[in-house]
Amino acid sequence: MDEFLLSAAAFVLLMVALGLLRVARGPGYADRMMAAQLLGTGGIGALLLVGAAVGEAAVVDVALTLALLAAFTSIAFVKFMAHKDRPPTSEDDA
C-alpha cells in the first residue's frame, strides 16, 4: 500500500511537471498566472499521498497550510501579472 501511495504521489508530481511546461511555454500571461494554482493543487495531492505513505498524521496540517497559502500566492501572481504594463485602476479584479 505504501509503495502504491508513493508511486501515485510521483505520478501526480509528473503531471505537475508537465503542466509547468505549459507555464514555461505558454504564449500568454494567463498561462503564467495558472502556475501557482497548478503547483498548489498538485502539491497538495502529492503531499497527502506521501504523508499517508510514511504514516505521518500531521501532514494534513501541512496540506491545509498549503491550501491557504497557495490561494494567497495565486492571487499575488494574478495581481502583479495583470498590472504588468500599467498601474492598477479601480476596474481591476472586478
Query: Please, which of residues 19-58 interact with other proteins by CB under 8 A?
Result: 19-24, 26, 28-52, 54, 56-58
Shortest Å, Cβ 79 to other proteins: 6
CA dihedral sign, ordered 34, 37, 43, 46? negative
Shortest Å, Cβ 43 to other proteins: 4
Q: How many residues bind other proteins (CB under 8 A)?
A: 87
Question: How many Cα atoms are found within 13 Å in the side-chain-facing hemisphere of 62?
Answer: 14
Return the residues of window 65-94 that contact other proteins according to CB under 8 A.
65-84, 87-94
State the cell numbers at 81.
Answer: 501579472
Shortest Å, Cβ 16 to other proteins: 7
What is the secondary structure of 60-86 as a DSSP string? HHHHHHHHHHHHHHHHHHHHHHHTSSS
